[in-house]
Amino acid sequence: MQVVEIRDLDGPNLFLLLPAIKLELEATGGDLSSEGIAALAARLEPLGVSDEARPSGMVALSDLLLEAVVALHLRAGAPEPEVAWMELETPGHLAVAFGWMRRRFAREVARVVGAVAIGEPIDLPPVADQLRELLQAASEPADVPALVRDIDRSIPIVGITGTNGKTTTTRLISHVLRQAGRRVGWSSSTGVYIEGQPVLEGDYTGPTGARRVLEEPGLDVAVLETARGGILLRGLAYESNDVSVFTNVSGDHLNLHGVRTVEGLARVKATVVRVTRAEGYAVLNADDPLVRGVAGSLRASPFWVSKEAENPTVVGHVAAGGHGLFLRGGEVVYARAGSESVLMAISDVPMTFGGRAPHMIENALCAAGACLGLGLDAAEVREGLGSFRNTPDQNTGRLNVFDVGGVIVIVDYAHNEAGLANLLQCRRRVPRRGGTYRQHHRHRGRPHR
């Protein structure tokens, strides 16, 4: 067995919806055998862990490691932590996770468990005394989770996740809210913005950007684009959000940080919608099967959106009294509590190019759902959607279309396969002059011809 890493996650994460320490181990066949597990149980016996016969396999190994985590906490006089384990997508790798409130203490617990797991000689009773000293030492800011707790915030949070469309949806939600008179701060892949003014430039889709927005005084709403990297490396920056958006899932950033499949990617991104408060709304794209698959893990009410009026998920949810947005005959229909009303014609949403850009329709539906979930009325949402365009000043690098001397130039940040497919689909639909196209595909900030 080998220790792969010990990582302190300051907020909700893939494993637990609270600050957690992740101990990742690589186990071999011998470690998973009955003999290997019995040997580990014998090494843990000084902590009071039973050495009774156990089955073989990953479940038995993980349960034994969790017992060790709990035993060390209790020996040190700490409350029993919330614990979880997960078999990771890298073959032979497992993660043991437990909640924490004191960083140095929790990391040392993980180090000790990892050391025992790999067979290092450790005198466990004195170790428990050392852990007690760490626990009783004076607390410092760096020793507690860097987490914005619900009790410490006074404004609602909108969290946006997914593979494609996050930045556009973040910008659009912020625009609609500002048009409705709200003071808004948002973080995104291009920076942190306070009331439209950039205060940090660069990719701030992780907890640093979110915390910067939440620390700004005088705002009414925080709109936080959230990427999988920050979730995996540090956890979310906040305890819960009030409204969340899950746009879609497709292959992107795979084989990084142990995520190897789109299903695994969906589980990571689902953290954003899983922390939505029970009285809030999780806006979900009903046209994406991986997004639909997270509905069972929510505590919030789903708010389904779809480009199809007959999407069975939306139809069933609305029939049961839930909220939904969908397209029917060129109109955006808002359905709730068994009633329907037309929000607006899709031709009146400029960012969709009259409905010729399906992925922009998806973004518009997601943003509209989020704003309705926050409590904006239909007129405010219509005003915001009708005044937002894919121009460099409002949606930089996202389906910006220019007529340059009769030549149509399209600039778009199509950085993965799904994004490129959307761009090529729009290229065939955008009206042209002079019979010629020239496309600029912007990848990682560098134009490609």
Kindly report the CATH number assigned to the domain that includes residue 167.
3.40.1190.10
**Burial level of 233, CB count in 10 A (0-12/13-18/19+)?**
middle
* pLDDT score for 182: 98
CA distance 272 to 269: 6
Same domain, 72 and 179: no
* pLDDT score for 258: 73
Same domain, 131 and 242: no
Same domain, 193 and 289: yes
Same domain, 209 and 317: yes
Contact residues for 350 (Cβ-Cβ < 8 A; gap 6+): 386, 388, 389, 390
Last residue of a domain, one of 96, 124, 143: 143
Token pair, residue 65, equals 């490691």
393 inside domain: no
Q: Which of 124-138, 177-191, 290-304, 428-442 has the lowest mean pLDDT?
A: 428-442
Q: Is the pLDDT of residue 400 over 80?
A: no
Q: Is the pLDDT of residue 245 over 80?
A: yes
**Domain ranges, residue 25:** 2-143
Q: Please choose, from the candidates 408, 306, 320, 406, the residue with its C-alpha nearest in 3D space to the C-alpha of residue 364.
A: 306
Same domain, 407 and 339: no
Q: Which whole number is the average pLDDT over 142-168? A: 94
Same domain, 128 and 250: no
Same domain, 156 and 136: no
Residue 81 near residue 70 (C-beta atoms within 8 A): yes
Q: Please choose, from the candidates 256, 39, 254, 235, the residue with its C-alpha nearest in 3D space to the C-alpha of residue 148.
A: 235
Q: How confident is the model at residue 319 (pLDDT cuts 50, 70, 90)?
A: very high
Q: Is the pLDDT of residue 5 over 50?
A: yes
Q: Which whole number is the average pLDDT over 292-310? A: 95
Q: Is the pLDDT of residue 440 over 50?
A: no
CA distance 145 to 417: 37
252 inside domain: yes
Same domain, 103 and 38: yes
Residue 448 near residue 412 (C-beta atoms within 8 A): no
Question: How many domains is the chain partitioned into structurally?
Answer: 3
* pLDDT score for 237: 97
395 inside domain: no
Last residue of a domain, one of 339, 354, 386: 386
* pLDDT score for 55: 86
Between 171 and 52, residue with greater pLDDT: 171
Same domain, 370 and 251: yes
Last residue of a domain, one of 128, 143, 158: 143
391 inside domain: no
What confidence tens digit (pLDDT) does each residue in 54-88 have? 888 999 999 999 999 999 999 999 999 999 999 99
Q: Is the pLDDT of residue 426 over 70?
A: no
Q: Is the pLDDT of residue 328 over 60?
A: yes
* Model confidence, pTM: 0.89
Share of the chain above pLDDT 90, in %: 72
134 inside domain: yes
Same domain, 317 and 382: yes
Q: Is the pLDDT of residue 53 over 80?
A: no
Q: What is the mean pLDDT of the chain?
A: 89
Residue 34 near residue 49 (C-beta atoms within 8 A): no
* pLDDT score for 337: 81
Between 75 and 124, residue with greater pLDDT: 75
Element housing 22 (H / E): strand 20-26
Q: Which whole number is the average pLDDT over 134-140? A: 88
392 inside domain: no
CA distance 237 to 222: 12
Q: How confident is the model at residue 256 (pLDDT cuts 50, 70, 90)?
A: low
Same domain, 139 and 88: yes
394 inside domain: no
* pLDDT score for 49: 82
Same domain, 233 and 355: yes
Q: How confident is the model at residue 422 (pLDDT cuts 50, 70, 90)?
A: low
184 inside domain: yes
